[in-house]
Structure formats: structure tokens, C-alpha cells
């Protein structure tokens, strides 16, 4: 059940979100999430776009999940189209936590290939959380276009997103392994290794993939 606060407490909490101290902002977000109130939603969404502290952003997201999706989705869906990268990233992250599949149409190919790595990673996680079953294979094909992108954390995020889609990724990975650029091939091989052996570890899978590509083999030998 949604709780309400009196006007004085609401004003204090909203002012706390703008305080110069991150600890004060954290407590304010915690207080808002503990006593959700529709008056807080727009300010929470706005603050996500500019909040510099990671822990506070996580608390803002938690506070938003404590409110009804019917109240939070409109603002978050606007934010995924923002010109500000942090606004897009945090809105996508929050949508993945809310898990309401009405947001799925907002996860566009443009977001999945966003030039900002943090936005793209948030989009991948949101897509996996929200995709309808019948669209998993198509999503796998889109995500596969990003194989080989970025540094270790970005590549690991993409591998995890692909693996979460299940066996629909295997034909897609096979195509990239056979026809992709060297970096994409290595990433595809490493992702398939992790799919079959989650305990192998990403670094080991990447090193194995490098060896396979260097030898000019497919990575399927011995399976």
C-alpha cells in the first residue's frame, strides 16, 4: 500500500535530494523509498539524470521501484530519449529493475548500440529483462552486432546479456565466429565458451578464443 507523508516531511525529503552532501542525498532517497508518495516521482527521475554519486543513484532507482509503475514509467520512458547520457543510462537501469514489459518497445536498436558504453550496457540489461519470449532470437541478432566492442567490462556485460537469452544465441554466435572481424570472432567464441561452461571465467574464455582465432579454427573442434 502506498504511504503518504505530511507536507513538511515531503519538502524536507525533496530538499535533501539537492543537498551538497552525498550522505544527506542518500538518506533522503532512502526516506522517500521507505514512504513512497506520488509527489516524489518526477523529482526522483530528474535527480537520476544528474546525480554524481553511484550509491545515491542506486538508492534513487530503489526508491522509484517502490512506486507504482503506472507513475514511474512515463518519466523513465521520456528519459531514455534524453540527450544526456546519464539520464538514458539510469532510466534504462531503473526500467530493468522495475521489470514492467510495457517498457519493451522503448528499448530501441539505437539504444542497444548507443555510442556511450554505460548507456549501451544498461540497454542490454534492460532488453534481456524485458524482451518477450518470441523476440529473444531477434534481440540476440541485434546484440551480436556489438560483439568485440569496448573494454573488458563492456564485453563481459554483453556476454552476460547474450547468455541470459539462452540457446537462441548459438546460431548467431556461430555466424559471427565464421564471418566476423577478428575482435568480434574472439568475443563470440569466448561467449559461447562461457555459455557451455559458466565456471570457466571470462579471462580464460578470452585467452582461449584468441588462440582459436590465431590458429584459424572455428572453436567447435572437440565439442
Q: Are residues 47 and 122 in the same domain?
A: yes
Q: Are residues 38 and 68 in the same domain?
A: yes
Is residue 60 scored above 70 in pLDDT?
yes
Domain that holds residue 109: 6-130
Q: CA 15, CA 167: separation in Å to the nearest integer?
A: 49
* Mean local confidence (pLDDT), 206-216: 65
Worst-scoring range by mean pLDDT, 43-52, 172-181, 198-207? 198-207
Asked if residues 117 and 154 have their Cβ atoms less than 8 Å apart, the reply is yes
Q: Are residues 114 and 184 in the same domain?
A: no
Portion of the chain with pLDDT greater than 70, in percent: 87
Residues 147 and 49 in one domain: no
24 found inside a domain: yes
- Residue 109 and residue 173 in one domain: no
pLDDT computed for residue 198 by the predictor: 83
| 111-160 per-position pLDDT tens digit | 999 999 999 999 999 999 999 999 999 999 999 999 999 999 999 999 99
CATH no. for residue 101?
1.25.10.10
pTM given for the model: 0.86
Amino acid at each position: 500500500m502506498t504511504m503518504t507523508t505530511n507536507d513538511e516531511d515531503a519538502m524536507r525529503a525533496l530538499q535533501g535530494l539537492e543537498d551538497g552532501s552525498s550522505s544527506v542525498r542518500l538518506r533522503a532517497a532512502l526516506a522517500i523509498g521507505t514512504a513512497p508518495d506520488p509527489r516524489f516521482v518526477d523529482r526522483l527521475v530528474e535527480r537520476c539524470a544528474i546525480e554524481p554519486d553511484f550509491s545515491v543513484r542506486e538508492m534513487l532507482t530503489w526508491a522509484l521501484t517502490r512506486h507504482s509503475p503506472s507513475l514511474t514509467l512515463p518519466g523513465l520512458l521520456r528519459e531514455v530519449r534524453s540527450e544526456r547520457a546519464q539520464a538514458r543510462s539510469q532510466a534504462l537501469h531503473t526500467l530493468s529493475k522495475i521489470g514492467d514489459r510495457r517498457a519493451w518497445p522503448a528499448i530501441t536498436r539505437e539504444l542497444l548500440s548507443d555510442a556511450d558504453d554505460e548507456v549501451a550496457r544498461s540497454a542490454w540489461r534492460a532488453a534481456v529483462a524485458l524482451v518477450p519470449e518470441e523476440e529473444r532470437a531477434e534481440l540476440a541478432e541485434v546484440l551480436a552486432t556489438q560483439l568485440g566492442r569496448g573494454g573488458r567490462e563492456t564485453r563481459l556485460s554483453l556476454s552476460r546479456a547474450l547468455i541470459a537469452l539462452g540457446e537462441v544465441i548459438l546460431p548467431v554466435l556461430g555466424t559471427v565466429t565464421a564471418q566476423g572481424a577478428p575482435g568480434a570472432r574472439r568475443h563470440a567464441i569466448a561467449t559461447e565458451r562461457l555459455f557451455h561452461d559458466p565456471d570457466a571465467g571470462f579471462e580464460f574464455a578470452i585467452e582461449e578464443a584468441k588462440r582459436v582465432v590465431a590458429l584459424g579454427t572455428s572453436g567447435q573442434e572437440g565439442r
